[in-house]
Amino acid sequence: MRSLHGQTIVVATHNEGKLREFAGLMAPFGIAAKSAREFGLPEPEETGTTFEENALIKALAAATATGLPAMSDDSGLCVDALDGAPGVYTADWAQLPEGGRDFAMAMQRAEVALQERGATEAAQRTGRFVAVICLAWPDGEAEFFRGEVEGTLVWPPRGEKGFGYDPVFLPRGHDLTFGEMSAEEKHGWKPGMDEALSHRARAFQKFARARLGSA
């Protein structure tokens, strides 16, 4: 098995929130995380129809361009009452015509869609965050690790921490939305703990157990 200990991994994202989360998760293993932006890499077009396909596109592009192992995640919010939308198009719902993203607008769009479906009670507003991590090597080898967290969409948004749709997502069994949680509370996992909380941390937990020998 190829060793990752002490290596630099390219995190194939231009999203500073994701980079911070990955860097924090990798730090206990002595792995340095550098973003695709630091290498001057463009964002590849995400043409996949699944989280796995899009994660592979991003990770493989970064690994090929840098000659380093690269990690990417493709993640999204899947709302049951919206037939799984926005799903792989979660970020697209926030896209502005002039460029950039507005997640306040995206959260409002999701809420309008829920109201149109008559989903006003908590039991009608269930969904999950999904994250698929892809670890890719310059020679094309790739592995996938999937994490999910169930929850309910709340309105109005609560909290200003995290990023994306975090302020409207209340994870099952918790009183705080992801937007109200600190990074430590949101991840809910470090080496030696049984269970992660966030979808990205759960996917990373599977990666760490498979590739880093973490318990």
Amino acid (one-letter) located at 43: E
> What is the distance between the alpha carbons of residues 152 and 28, in angstroms, rounded to a whole number?
31
DSSP state of 95: B
175 as an active site residue: the answer is no
Are 78 and 127 a contacting pair, CB within 8 Å? Answer: yes
Instruction: Dig out the tokens for 155 from the structure.
Output: 């309105």
Beta bridge partners of 112: none
Catalytic residue among 74, 80, 139, 194: 74
C-alpha of 33 from chain center: 16
List residues with catalytic annotation.
74
